[in-house]
Amino acid sequence: MFSYDDALALLLCSAPVLPAETAAIENAGGRYLARPVTAAIDAPRADVSAMDGYALRLADAQPGRWLTVAGEAAAGVPLSHGLAQGEAARIFTGAHIPQGADCVIMQEYAERSGDRVQFSGGFGPASHIRRKAGDFAKGDILLEQGQRLTPRAMVALAGADLAEVGLVRQPGIVIISTGNELEQPGSAHLSPHLQPESGSYGVAALANTCGAILMDRMHGRDDLEILAPLARSGIDRADCVVVIGGASVGDHDLARPMFGGAQMDEKFSSVAIRPGKPVWFGLANGIPVLGLPGNPTSAMVTARLFLAPLLAAMQGGDGAATTRFLPQVLCGALPANGSRETFVRARSTEFGLVPAHNQESGAQAPLTASDWLIRRPIGADAVANGAIVPAIPF
């Protein structure tokens, strides 16, 4: 079996990057940049006021001295003339600084009488001016190729004064679930031998948060004549195929044989992790195929560990960064670990990460509250409450 790190490295170096396309920035959120974003303008475009108050020469700002108010400047409506000695202009946040002014005094220090104004002491020393190009200058690279357009990055993208942006195409994904015992939710109760197929719904939702587009969700019984056409349909239409179930080596485990009609380049067939040992990955006719275990919890854990980085890499992003483990405080205790690397489901609290009480691979109820995965190395010693453990958001 491969280690998790080795399997992930194989997956990432095999992931094909999809072609680029141009899209309106209204449709760019959450997607990955195919090329850097360069600012088309300065920000700010000119020296502007950082406060509501009065613009004037600092030399004129002597406490008790009356100045003539020579006009008003607002954001987008600048003063049409400069200021002479002994003059001030009423100014609002974001307005261009009038020619001749070198400071803004906040309105809290101003006493206004008709067209005159004077200032009390204590207003300095800040000038309250945001300088031209103080944020960024025209031609500056604001966002790098491969960066995902988070809500915060979207602010910089729009601020660069661009209407369109080059993005990597979103991967279309097909999910195929297998198993004689599974039925669509809402119908399983009709037979005591059936249970709802739940894993594909969680995997589809995870793929969506990773930028993928669900093209189809299909289910097949454990029959090669049923599953093989589903496999062909998936690799003919999708950029990535995910198979849930049928990943072991029993007579009814057909996840890999169902791709027998394609040229399969298998990269790994099992990984030394718990849960999720049967996870596998390969390229079928050049299309990435990720096989997940049938137990829904195992499917979700391995989707987080392998599908999330795969989809990021296919969109030109840093797939490894999606599995960067962060030090977290353990709230509780964990026993010594065995011969497989273990990923412990846990929920975040103000005191730290609390491991779920049920770590069975088929347990679905604890998934609702489990929002982190704690990584336990092979042969790790037991850890006590308050220990620092590596974990990733789940």
Q: 48-130: which CATH topology?
A: Molybdopterin biosynthesis moeA protein; domain 3 (2.170.190)
User: Taking Cα atoms as reference points, which of 308, 320, 383 lies closest to residue 353?
Assistant: 383
- CA distance readout (Å), 284 to 97, 269, 339, 382: 63, 14, 31, 42
Segments making up each domain of the chain, as ranges: 4-17+170-323, 22-42+142-168, 48-130, 326-393
Cα 269 from Cα 36, distance rounded (Å): 37
What pLDDT does residue 251 have? 64
Residue owning tokens 């347990």: 363
For residue 118, pLDDT beyond 90: yes
Indicate the helix (H) or strand (E) that contains 352: strand 352-355
What pLDDT does residue 393 have? 98
Cα 268 from Cα 247, distance rounded (Å): 12
What pLDDT does residue 236 have? 97
Cα 176 from Cα 8, distance rounded (Å): 22
User: Taking Cα atoms as reference points, which of 145, 129, 128, 131 lies closest to residue 42?
Assistant: 131
Q: 326-393: which CATH topology?
A: Beta-clip (2.40.340)
Choice between 253 and 366, residue whose per-residue pLDDT is larger: 366
Give the torsion sign (CA, 374, 377, 379, 382).
negative
What's the pTM value of the predicted model, to 2 decimals?
A: 0.90
Cα 2 from Cα 8, distance rounded (Å): 9
Choice between 89 and 362, residue whose per-residue pLDDT is larger: 89
At 13, is the secondary structure helix, strand, or coil? helix
What pLDDT does residue 229 have? 97
Query: Do residues 246 and 280 lie in contact, with contact meaning Cβ atoms separated by under 8 Å?
Result: no
Q: What is the mean pLDDT of residues 220-234?
A: 96
Q: What are 317-347's pLDDT values in tens digits?
A: 999 999 999 999 999 999 999 999 999 999 9
What pLDDT does residue 250 have? 63
| pLDDT range class, residue 266, cuts 50, 70, 90 | very high
Select from 3.30.420.140, 3.40.1390.10, 2.40.50.140, 3.40.980.10 the CATH code of 4-17+170-323: 3.40.980.10
Rounded CA Rg of the chain: 30
CB atoms under 10 Å from CB of 164, counted, come to 12
Q: Which residues pair with 18 in a beta bridge?
A: none
What pLDDT does residue 183 have? 87
At 326, is the secondary structure helix, strand, or coil? strand
* CATH superfamily to which 22-42+142-168 belongs: Molybdopterin biosynthesis moea protein, domain 2 (3.90.105.10)
Q: Average per-residue pLDDT in the chain?
A: 95
Cα 213 from Cα 230, distance rounded (Å): 18
Q: What is the mean pLDDT of residues 248-259?
A: 80
For residue 7, the one-letter residue type is A
Query: Could you tell me which residues come within 8 angstroms of residue 107 by beta carbon, excluding any fewer than 6 positions away?
Result: 51, 52, 53, 54
User: Taking Cα atoms as reference points, which of 386, 374, 296 lies closest to residue 341?
Assistant: 374
For residue 125, pLDDT beyond 80: yes
Q: What are 28-46's pLDDT values in tens digits?
A: 999 999 999 999 999 999 9
Cα 338 from Cα 136, distance rounded (Å): 52
What pLDDT does residue 252 have? 66
Indicate the helix (H) or strand (E) that contains 234: helix 224-237
In order, the DSSP letters of 281-318 are: EEEETTEEEEEE-SSHHHHHHHIIIIIHHHHHHHTTS-
Lowest mean pLDDT among 59-68, 150-159, 246-255, 380-389: 246-255
Residue owning tokens 């609390």: 354
